[in-house]
């Protein structure tokens, strides 16, 4: 038989401690929308963030994002695919980006740049995994009879930092 422990049961099912925190009123209001108990609301949010990090870590390095009925962009893990010569990553989220190439360059140039980058000695295991995944996707696109890869120009507007 399980021994009865004295005192209050654990609020979150694990050890906890009292923490005083000052929050803006609008944040308190938003937290109360999640749970009337502010502590529980904060725990829910932290668990959600930790879960999204875990999901991001398990997400494939290279995916497709539909942008039309038959069109997709290739999205890549931003950290794993940094440093490909002639290629720039345009962020679409905290950890994902799509690829752009310098003017006049296309799919063969990207594949060659990836092969060159894979030959570098400073490529880490995670970067190597991402580069190899992208290389496989590009090869599949090139070999597929029902897929066309088009190069397009994009316009990225970036605000300059305010001068003081």
**CA-to-CA distance for 59 and 65, rounded, in angstroms?**
13
Q: Are residues 76 and 121 in the same domain?
A: yes
Within-domain flag for 68: yes
Domain boundary among 17, 34, 57: 57
Three-point CA angle 43, 47, 50, nearest 5°: 140
DSSP conformation letters of the chain: -PPPPPSPPPSSSS----------HHHHHHHHHH-SSHHHHHHHHHHHHHHHHHHHHHS-SEEEEE-SSS-EEEEEETTTTTT-TTEEEEESSSSEEEEEE-TT--HHHHHHHHHHHHH-TT--HHHHHHHHHHHHHHHHHHH-TT------------PPPPP-
Q: Are residues 124 and 97 in the same domain?
A: yes
Q: What is the pLDDT of residue 3?
A: 54
Q: What is the pLDDT of residue 23?
A: 92
Q: Are residues 98 and 36 in the same domain?
A: no
Q: What is the pLDDT of residue 2?
A: 52
pLDDT digits (tens, 9 = 90+) for 20-33: 999 999 999 998 98
Within-domain flag for 157: no
Q: What is the pLDDT of residue 6?
A: 67
Q: What is the pLDDT of residue 51?
A: 65
Within-domain flag for 133: yes
Closest CA to 31 of 21, 41, 23: 41
Residue 94 has, within 13 A of its CA and on its CB side, a CA count of 5
pLDDT one digit per residue (tens) for the chain, 164 residues:
555 556 666 676 678 888 999 999 999 999 898 888 888 888 888 877 776 666 666 678 888 888 878 888 888 988 878 888 888 888 888 788 888 888 888 888 899 999 999 998 888 888 899 999 999 999 888 888 888 888 877 887 878 887 55
Q: Which domain holds residue 48?
A: 25-57
Q: What is the pLDDT of residue 164?
A: 57
Q: Are residues 66 and 121 in the same domain?
A: yes
Domains in the chain: how many in total? 2
Q: What is the pLDDT of residue 105?
A: 86
């Amino acid at each position: 038989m399980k021994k009865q422990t004295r005192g209050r049961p654990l609020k979150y099912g694990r050890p906890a401690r009292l923490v005083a925190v000052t929050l803006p009123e609008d944040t308190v209001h938003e937290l109360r929308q999640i749970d009337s108990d502010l502590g529980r609301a904060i725990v829910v949010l932290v668990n959600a963030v930790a879960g999204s990090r875990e999901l991001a870590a398990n997400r494939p390095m290279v995916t497709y994002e539909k942008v039309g009925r038959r069109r997709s962009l290739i999205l890549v893990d931003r950290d794993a695919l940094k440093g490909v010569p002639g290629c720039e990553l345009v962020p679409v989220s905290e950890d994902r980006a799509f690829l752009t190439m310098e003017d006049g360059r296309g799919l063969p140039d990207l594949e060659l740049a990836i092969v060159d980058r894979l030959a570098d000695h400073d490529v880490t295991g995670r970067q190597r995994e991402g580069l190899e995944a992208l290389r496989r996707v590009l090869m599949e696109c090139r070999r597929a009879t029902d897929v066309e890869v088009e190069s397009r120009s994009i316009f990225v507007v970036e605000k300059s930092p305010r001068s003081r």
